[in-house]
Each structure stands twice: as structure tokens, then as C-alpha cells.
Amino acid sequence: METPLRAGLIGAGFIGSVHAHAIRASGARLSRVSDSTPERALEAARRLGAEAAAESAEALIASDDIDVVHICTPNATHADLAERAIAAGKTVICEKPLATSLADADRLVAAADRAGVVTAVPFVYRYYPSVREARALIDAGAAGRLWLLHGSYLQDWLSNSGETNWRVDPSQGGGSRAFGDIGVHWCDLMEFVTGHRITRLMARMSNAHSERPTAEGMKSVGTEDGVTLMFETDRGATGSLVASQVSLGRKNKLWFSFDGTEAAYVFDQENPDSLWVGGANESRILPRGPGGAGSRGEGPDYSFLPAGHPQGYQDCFNAFVADVYAVATGARRDGLPTFTDGRRAAKITEAVIDSAKNESWTEVLA
């Protein structure tokens, strides 16, 4: 019986609690939790069932009884904490965005390569079996030539102008919000599933609400509520993306249609247990399950519940953490999103910000 890995969790908000569940589901120990104060860390340790509270993030990272560090804090703190964890020789899972600048992301990838540590960024939508099925079908040539890659990622949790969040503040969340927070998920998924790479894009940012509350009263907003994007890829396809956090009634609707000359594949994160396959003479819904979506391809079977027993977001997170831990203990896993993928997201985000500012087509180099 292998000794279970010992995980340290930095940040115990919504996403920190998702990580905590995934850590336990993997069979690892949730050894320590840190939060913004020692008192909040104690409360979080009790709430999340951690073995101990850490005085601070830095103390947690320095602990020699921690093998893996999970960074679940506001975006602007990611780079420094990830750099410390790499220097301490830990396996590092850092929430997206990896960093709020491409320069920081470059620095983290180089540091991780030099240190030889395992790194990951939770682009967890890769772990839906129906997404893996679309990827396997496209890889097998069933789509023909992919020529149009389009979709959206729509939420409404910031629909109320009286609402705010640390992501609204560029100094805490980075220069882009709708794209930097959720548009990056869609682009990661598109490139992961199709193998295409965005080479240039045209972006237009917009706001439903021009002002939001701050400690000093209502202030103009420095990050976008929504972004519309056109792009071209290295294999001759074109595409579009709408990402919004003020689309009423849409809770977490990541949706794509990847259209080929032989078939089209549609995935809807709000109905994720099946894949729609469009054909000239017939279209069908491919349900997840034995012989259905997600039942092919390399590596572990991410379809682990019987058909008709829906798998969801937390299951994706559990599969992602289990794969990171497997790789950290010497196994190989197909499609693990690493800091290299986090850097790719920072690269595309930088291009989106530049394109929106200059109102021009902008190259996305490798």
C-alpha cells in the first residue's frame, strides 16, 4: 500500500473546497490549510476536515510534511506562491489563471522545468468523458476537415450592478476578467479537443455595467463583463467565442460546436453527460457510458459511473487531481493541463487585451 500523498491547500473559498473534496477523493491526506488569517485557517481546517491549520501560506509551503501544494487564492498572488512552492520542490496545482502576466507565466514554466517538479492548472473541463470522446473522434478523422470552431461561455453571477468581486479589480484579478477567468477555459478546451492552435485574433470587450461598488463607493469598472472574439488557427480554421459573466439565466454554460466537413460535435457543460454528433443524413446524441461517450482513448476511463448516472463538475475535478497525483508518483497521463498550458492561456489573454485596446487583429505566437 503506497503512502498517501500529503496535500496543502492555500485558500479555502468556493474553489478551495472543490479542491479539498478532490484531494480526499484521490485517497491523499488533506494535511494543512492556510487562509487569509490564522483564525480563518483554523475555521477552514475544521470546515474542510484538514489535519491542521497553517499559520500562513509561506509556512505551509515550507512544511516538510507537504508533498503537493494547491493554490486557490486571488489571481494576483498566484505567481509568487507558485514560485515559492516550486523552489520548495513541491508538486504544484495552481488555479487559473496561472499568472496575471505572460512574463510571470514564462518565469514559472522555466522555474518548474529547472526544478523538475510536476505542475498543473485546473482546466478541468478536459475531464468530461464526452469531451474526451469528441477529441478521440476528431483525432480518428471522423470530423473530416475542421473548418469552423465556435461557441460561448456564459454566466450570470455578476449580473447585478451592485455585485462586485475581487476579479473586478485589475490589481487583484488581472487585466481581463470575462476572458481571463472563463474565456481561457473555452480556448484551452478548443485547442485540446481539436489540436488546432489560435494564430491570430480580434477581440472586443464590453460591459453591461460601467460602474460597480468599491470601498470608496461606485467606481468605473476596469475589467470587461463580456468579450467577443474572432480567431484563425494554424490549420486554416476560423472561429468565434463569446464569453460573458452577465448573461442572465446562464449559470455555467460552456458550449462548443466544432464543425468539420464530415461531422460536427457539440458539447454543453450544463448538459455534459452526452455529446451531440451532427451528420448530413442523421444526427445523434451519444450518451456517456459503456460504448458511448468517453468509452475510448488512452489512459484511465473517466466514465466511471454507469450510463444514466450523470457525472459532473466535481467528478471532473476529482479525475484531474487523481491524474496529477498519479503523475507525481511516476505514472503517465494523457492530457494533463500543466503550467505550459497555463502559460498558453496567459499568452492568449495578453493578445485579447492588446487586440481590444488597439482594435486590431493581433498575432498569438507560440
Position 188 contacts ligand SOE (CB under 6 A)? no
The smaller minimum CB distance to ligand SOE, of residues 150 and 185, is found at: 185
Report the DSSP pairing between strands 119-120 and 238-244: unpaired
Comparing every residue's Cβ against ligand SOE, the nearest one is 181
Minimum CB–partner distance for residue 182 and ligand SOE (Å): 5
Shortest Cβ 167–ligand SOE spacing (Å) = 7
Q: How many Cβ atoms sit within 10 Å of the Cβ of residue 155?
A: 19
Distance between start and end Cα atoms, the chain: 43
| Helix-helix angle 339-358:184-194, to 10 degrees | 120
Distance CA 269, CA 122 (A): 16
Q: Which three cell numbers stand for residue 280?
A: 448530413
Q: With binding defined as CB under 6 A, does residue 164 bind ligand SOE?
A: no
Q: Is residue 17 a contact residue for ligand SOE (CB under 6 A)?
A: no
Query: Minimum CB separation from ligand SOE for residue 132, in Å?
Result: 18
Residue whose C-alpha cell reads 447585478 in the numeric block: 160
Letters for 239-268 (x = contact with ligand SOE by CB under 6 A, - = none) are -------------x----------------
Residues 137-156 interacting with ligand SOE (rule: CB under 6 A): 155
Decide: helix, strand or coil at residue 344: helix
CB closer to ligand SOE, 75 vs 295? 75
Q: Which of 182, 201, 322, 346 binds ligand SOE (CB under 6 A)?
A: 182
Q: How far is the CB of 227 from ligand SOE (least distance, A)?
A: 13
Distance in Å, CB of 157 to ligand SOE, minimum = 7
- Give 46 or 251: the residue with its C-beta nearer to ligand SOE: 251
Q: Give the residues across from 239 on adjacent strands.
A: 149, 231
The vertex-175 CA angle with 170 and 179, nearest 5°, equals 120
* Binding flag, residue 169, ligand SOE (CB under 6 A): no
Site string for ligand SOE, 193-232 (x = CB under 6 A): ----------------------------------------
> What amino acid occupies position 95?
E
Q: Is residue 181 a contact point for ligand SOE (CB under 6 A)?
A: yes
Q: Which segments of the chain are extended strands (E)?
A: 6-10, 29-34, 52-53, 68-71, 91-94, 119-120, 146-154, 198-206, 211-214, 217-220, 226-233, 238-244, 253-260, 264-268, 274-278, 284-287, 362-363
Total residues at interface with ligand SOE (CB under 6 A) = 5
Q: Rounded to the nearest whole angstrom, what is the least distance from the CB of residue 148 to ligand SOE in the complex?
A: 25
Residues near 127 by beta carbon (within 8 Å), at least 6 away in sequence: 302, 315, 316, 317, 319, 320, 323
Per CB under 6 A, which region of 17-25, 111-119, 178-186, 345-353 contacts ligand SOE? 178-186
In angstroms, rounded to a whole number, what is the distance separating the alpha carbons of residues 54 and 251? 34
Q: Judged by CB under 6 A, which stretch of 5-13, 35-43, 142-150, 179-187 contacts ligand SOE?
A: 179-187
The footprint of ligand SOE (CB under 6 A) covers 155, 181-182, 185, 252
